[in-house]
Structure 1
Amino acid sequence: MRVMITIQHPGHVHFFRHAIEELEHRGHEVHVFARESDVAVQLLEAYDIDHEVLAGDSDSLVSLAAVQATYELRLLQRARRLEPDVITAIGGVAAAHVASVVGAKSLVFYDTEHATLVTKLSYPFADTISTPECYRDDIGPKQVTYPGYHELAYLHPERFEPDPAVLEAVGLAPEESFAVVRLSSWTASHDVGHGGFDDPHAVVDRLEAAGLQVLLTAEGEPPAALESYQFTTAPERMHDLLAAADVVLSEGATTAAEAAVLGTPAVYVNPLSLGYTAELDAEYGLLFEYTGEERHVHGLERAVSVLAEPDDTWARRRERLLADRIDVTDLVVQQLETIAQTRTADRPAPAANPDRS
């Protein structure tokens, strides 16, 4: 089959990278197209994934609209030339729109219920929408669900083994206890008007008082007084660091979920609850979600209290999670092949196209 994959966020690279490798190993033709966003293109290059960048980054909702229009137009041009069987993406606004024009099938993966702008633009045009079972919205007959999380497409033990050498790269000794703190930029369309921690300085102070070294990562620029806490490492090493941490505090749901499925206790401080953060909290006790007015205070209290738990607590909880949940890369490959078969079964042999490369 011929499949097009669109990448508009670093997390999309992680989600699809093993599927790309597996699809190519099975003899399928895979074409990856990207939009500049944070370190997405840097990750594509680090993982040696052949790709084409179709549009730049955006720094506001106004500029995002212009960038998205450019991206979709160029993606449409590539799709007309490549004649794909299926176009897939996370969120899938461009993928669903372009597929509907060129007669390809579209497969959209998503797990973020409150991203209503994305879903309104994408879902009506998509052929299949694949969500975790814990996704709270009923999308209708287009929806298929699976027992897993996006993060298990790349952090399942069949796909990832942490490298403890990352500690030396960020200046930590193996015996040092440390916390990773992730601050969000709050500029995404579904983040406007929201916030996480009341004061990042208080977060650092409380963790240091508990005997932890603090490593800070931020979307955009961190607060000036906290610049010395920001660490530098290759973006593809971030998961090694999350796996080694004693606790992770995050305003972003993805980072919190990544830590949780790796067996590192995660504290998620954000007014927006999601199906998967709630399930990782209530069902597995690997993520602790704080969304109320006192989320800053309660989140810090939890972050300190988890340090008193026995070391094997988190490993046992992770083992139970892995027994219940699947390797999501296997699902991605299976769904793409199934959907492409429905497309090719009904498609006549294409005429010769001298412009196709």
Structure 2
Amino acid sequence: MRVIVTIQHPGHVHFFKHAIRELQSKGHELHVFARENEVTVELLERAEIDHEVLAGESNSLLSLAAVQATYETRLLRRARRIEPDVITAIGGVAAAHVASVVGAKSVVFYDTEHATIITKLAYPFADVVCTPECYQGDIGSKQLTYPGYHELAYLHPDRFEPDPAVLEDAGLEPEETLVVMRLSSWDSSHDVGQGGFDNPVDVVERLEDTGATVLLTSEVDLPAELESRRYTMAPDRMHDLLAYADCFVGEGATMAAEAAVLGTPAVYVNSLALGYVTELDDEYGLVFSYNGENRHARSLERAISIVEEDDRSTWQRRRDRLLADRIDVTDVIVREVKTAGSGTDPDESLSVPNPG
């Protein structure tokens, strides 16, 4: 089977990397194509995944449209040469379009309901759209749901074990209270008009007043007074750090979910609500979502209380329950790519295996 994987965001590297290796180990021919975006290419290189970069970065919605057109045109040329059986992606605009032209099956994974531009461009052309069960939307007969989250494709304990050396490498003492903070750029097509913190400097100062150490990862330039707190280690070590952090506070839904599945309580500060973040909040109490106008003050109050209470056993119990309910999502990726390539019909849903 010949499979094309398209990668347009750093998170896509994490999502597909184990599936790529597993499919290759079974003798399938994998072709990975990427677009430069933040640390995407660096992550592919560090994961030792052979790939070809088809397009560069964008710095506005207008330039993103041009970059996307370039990416899709070049992907089509490669696909005509490769003659793939399956093309798979997250979001899947280029994947679904190109697959429909070259006669391949497209398997699209997505979890972001409000990204309406992407869903309107991709879903009508896709053969299979895989979403978490908590996805808030009915896509119709092509939708396959599974009990999990994108983050469990790479942070499920069967796939990931955090490295305790990360604390020493980051210059931290094991007994230090650590808060990881994430700032978003708000320049994605689905983020226009949205917002998070009122004042990041205030957040850092208030958290540090509790005695915590704050490390920042940001898609935007930081205020000068926060630059010394910037996370500077290799991008693929952030998950190790999140696993040992006492709290995550941020505007990014992906990192909030990553923290949650690792058992680190997450405070999500964003005017947008998402199905998987809502479930991690309502069902498991591992994310605390603040979406309203007073989100800055309320989220900061929650983060401070988490740091001061230092109740790690509670978060571990909640994580254990989550893992008992949810599956290794890499298994979903491998299964659905193989199913599409063999021409058999996909199941409408995937269940947690019965331990008995």
Q: Which residue of 1 aligns with 2:270?
A: 270
- CA RMSD for the aligned pairs? 1.1
Specify the alignment match of 1:51 in structure 2. 51
Map of 1:323 onto structure 2:
324
8 Å contact from structure 2 (residues 61, 189) kept in 1? yes
- C-alpha separation in 2, matches of 1:231 and 1:146: 33
Question: 1:305 Cα deviation (Å)?
Answer: 1.2
The residue type equivalent to 1:159 in the other structure is R
Residue 38, structure 1, aligned to residue 48, structure 2: no
**Matched residue, 2:315:** 314
Matched, 1:335 2:336: yes
Q: CA deviation at 1:170?
A: 1.6
- Corresponding residue number in structure 2 for 1:9: 9
- The one-letter code of the counterpart of 1:244 is Y
- Equivalents in 2 of 1:26, 1:272: separation in Å? 40
2:197 maps to: 197
Specify the SS of the correspondent of 1:160: coil
Q: What are the superposed Cα offsets for residues 292-320 of structure 1, whole Å, 9 maximum, x if unpaired?
A: 11111111111111231532111100000
Kept in 1: contact 2:34–2:41 (CA 8 A): yes
Cα distance between partner residues in 1 of 2:192 and 2:35: 21
Amino acid at match of 1:318: R
Residue matched to 2:96: 96
After TM superposition, the structure 1 stretch with the greater mean CA deviation from structure 2, 275-284 or 172-181, is 172-181
Q: List alignment gaps of at least 5 residues for structure 1.
A: 344-357
Q: Is the 8 A contact 2:91 2:118 kept in 1?
A: yes
Structure 2 residue runs of 5 or longer lacking an equivalent are 345-356
Measure how far apart 1:262 and its partner are: 0.2
- Say which SS state the counterpart of residue 227 (structure 1) adopts: helix
1:29 aligns with 2:21: no
Distance of 2:93 and 2:187 partners within structure 1:
18
* 2:207 paired residue number: 207
1:250 Cα deviation after fit? 1.1
Task: Give the C-alpha shift of residue 8 in structure 1.
Answer: 0.1
Distance 1:178 1:211 in 2: 9
1-side partners of 2:239 and 2:12: how far apart? 15
Structure 1 counterpart of 2:336, which letter? Q
Tell me the alpha carbon deviations over residues 328-349 of structure 1, each in whole angstroms, 9 at most, x when there is no partner: 0011100110111008xxxxxx
For residues 136-158 of structure 1, give each alpha carbon's deviation from its aligned partner in whole angstroms, at most 9, with x where no partner exists: 01011110100000000000000
Structure 2 matches for 1:142-181, cutoff 5 A?
A: 142-181=142-181
Please report how far the alpha carbon of residue 222 of structure 1 lies from its aligned counterpart in structure 2 after TM superposition: 1.3
Using the TM superposition, give the Cα deviation of residue 40 of structure 1 relative to its aligned residue in structure 2, in angstroms.
Answer: 0.4
SS at match of 1:144: strand
User: What amino acid is the match of 2:63?
Assistant: S
**Structure 2 match to 1:260:** 260
Corresponding position of 1:347: none
Distance 1:120 1:127 in 2: 14
Per-residue CA distance 1:191-248 (angstroms, 9 max, x = gap): 1111100000110011011110111110031122211111210001010010010000
Aligned partners of 2:43 and 2:217: how far apart in 1? 17
1:81 aligns with 2:84: no
Match of 1:239 in 2: 239
- AA of the residue aligned to 1:321: L
Q: In the alignment, is the contact (CA less than 8 A) between 2:246 and 2:310 conserved in 1?
A: no
Rounded Cα–Cα distance in structure 1 between residues aligned with 2:265 and 2:289:
11
Tell me the equivalent position of 1:61.
61
| Structure-1 residue corresponding to 2:224 | 224
Q: Which runs of 4+ in 1 moved over 2 A?
A: none
State the TM-score, normalizing by the size of structure 2. Answer: 0.95
Question: Which letter maps to 2:237?
Answer: R
Rounded Cα–Cα distance in structure 2 between residues aligned with 1:319 and 1:9 = 29
Structure 2 distance, partners of 1:3, 1:43, is 20
Percent same amino acid at aligned positions? 71
**Secondary structure, in 3 states, of the residue corresponding to 2:108?**
strand
CA–CA separation in structure 1 for the residues paired with 2:272 and 2:71: 29
- In the alignment, is the contact (CA less than 8 A) between 2:267 and 2:303 conserved in 1? yes
In structure 2, C-alpha distance between the alignment counterparts of 1:57 and 1:311, rounded to whole Å: 40
Q: Between Structure 1 and Structure 2, how many residues are aligned?
A: 344
Partner of 2:352: none
Query: Contact 2:105 / 2:127 at 8 angstroms: preserved in 1?
Result: yes
